[in-house]
Amino acid sequence: MLITCPYCGPRDVSEFAYQGDGNRSRPDPSSTDLAAWNAYVYDRLNPAGAHNEIWQHAGGCRAHLAVVRDTLSHEISSVRFAREKGAPAHGRRKSGAKP
């Protein structure tokens, strides 16, 4: 797998450290809403398909990247610096649940 770092260009996946689900938003630091904290710390989106993820180019420029990657094909559709807009916007699939 290659990840195209916006600074360094395409690099081997071995240079990157996975930092997981990029859809999580951290509650306000002073929040005492334990459910919100629990969701942030422990719950993850885990789609079979396009997934917003955070990767760090740990063996390169060390920037954190917001990556949209398909978990079935491993194809990457977008990469940008995570810090530019915070966490990436949701591009996740709709639930298939019946009402």
Partner 1 sequence: MAEYSAFSLLRNALSGNRDWKPAWRKPSPKASYDVVVIGGGGHGLSTAYYLAKEHGITNVAVLEKGYLGSGNVGRNTTAVRSNYLLPQNTRFYEHSMKMWENLSHELNYNVMFSQRGVLNLAHTPGQLDDLARKGNAMRHLGVDADLMTPAQIGRRVPGLDMSQSARFPIYGGLIQESAGTARHDAVAWGYARGADRRGVDIIENCEVTGFLRDGDRVTGVTTSRGEIRAKKIAVAVAGSTGRVMQLAGIERMPIESHVLQAFVSESLKPFLDTVVTFGMGHFYVGQSDKGGLIYGGDLDGYNSYAQRGSLPIVEEVMSEMLALFPSLATVRVLRSWGGVCDMSMDGSPIIATGPLPGMYLNCGWCYGGFKATPASGFCFAHTIARDAPHELNAPFTLDRFSRGTVIDDKGQGPTPRMH
Partner 2 sequence: MVEQLSPLAAVFRPGSHGNFVDGVGVTLSEMAPGSIVQLAAWPGEEKKLIAAITSLTGLKLADGAGAGAASERHTVFGFAPGKFLLTDTAEGLVSAAGVVTPAMGTITDLSHGRTAIRVAGPRSEWVLAKLFAVDFSLVAFPQGSGISTAHHDIFAQIQRSGPDRFDLYVFRSFARSFWKMLCHASDEVGYEVR
Partner 3 sequence: MSPRRRPSGGRIDRLRTIRFTFDGTAFTGHQGDTLASALLANGVSLFGRSFKYHRPRGLLTAGVDEPNALVTVLRGDVREPNIPATMVEIHDGLVAVSQNRFPSLAYDVSAVNQLGGKVLSAGFYYKTFMGPVVGPLKGTRFWMLCEKIIRRAAGLGRAGHAPDTARYERMNAFCDVLVVGSGPAGLAAAREAAASGANVILAELDPQFGGSANWSGETIDGEPAAAWASDIVGELRDQANVRLLKRTTVWGYYDDNTLAAVERVSDHKASPAKGAPRHRHWTIRAGKVVLATGAFERPLVFPGNDRPGVVMASAAQRYANEFGVLPGDKVAVFTNNDSAYRSAVALNNAGATVATIVDVRAEISEECHTLARQCGAELIVGHAVTATEGGKKLTGIKLAPFTEAAGALSSGARSVEADCLLMSGGWSPTIHLASQAGARPLWDAELQAFLPPEAGKGWVGAGAFNGTFSTAQAIAEGFAAGRVAADLAMVEIGTLPDVEPAALDPRPAPVFEIRAKGKSFVDFQHDVTSDDVRLAHIEGFVSVEHLKRYTTLGMATDQGKGSNVPGLAIMAEALGKPIPEVGTTRFRPPYAPVSVGALAAERFGDLKPERLTPMHDWHLDNEATMYSAGLWFRPMIYGGPGETIEQAYVREARVTRETAGIVDVSTLGKIAVQGPDAAELLDRAYSNVFSTLPVGKARYGLMLREDGLVFDDGTTWRLGDNDFLMTTTTANAGKVMQHLEYFLDVVWPDLKVHLTSVTDQWAGAAIGGPKAREILAACVTGTKVDNEALPFMGIVHGEIAGAPVMICRLSFSGEMAFEVYSGAGHGIHVWEALIEAGQPFGMVPYGLEALGTMRIEKGHVTGAEIDGRTSARDLHLGWMLSRKKPFIGSAMMDREGLVASGRLELVGLVSLDNRPLSGGAHIVEDVDMDNPHGSLGHITAACFSPALEKYIALALVADGKARHGKRAHVSDPLRDRFGPVEIVSHHFFDPEGKRMHG
| Partner touching 86 among partner 2, partner 3, partner 1, none, CB below 5 to 8 Å by kind | partner 3
98 lies in the binding site for partner 1 (CB under 8 A): yes
Answer yes or no: are the C-beta atoms of 64 and 72 closer than 8 Å: no
Decide: is 60 part of the binding site for partner 2 (CB under 8 A): yes
Q: Is 57 in the site for partner 1 (CB under 8 A)?
A: no
Rounded to whole angstroms, how far apart are CA atoms 82 and 16?
14
Q: How far apart are CA 49 and CA 10, in angstroms?
A: 22
Among the candidate windows 10-18, 45-53, 90-98, which touches partner 3 by CB under 8 A? 10-18
The item of partner 1, partner 2, partner 3, none sharing an interface with residue 53, based on CB under 5 to 8 Å by kind, is: partner 1
CB 52 within 8 A of CB 90: yes
Q: What is the number of other CB atoms lying within 10 angstroms of the CB of residue 96? A: 5
Of positions 6, 9, 10, 20, contacts partner 1 by CB under 8 A: 20
The residue type at 78: S
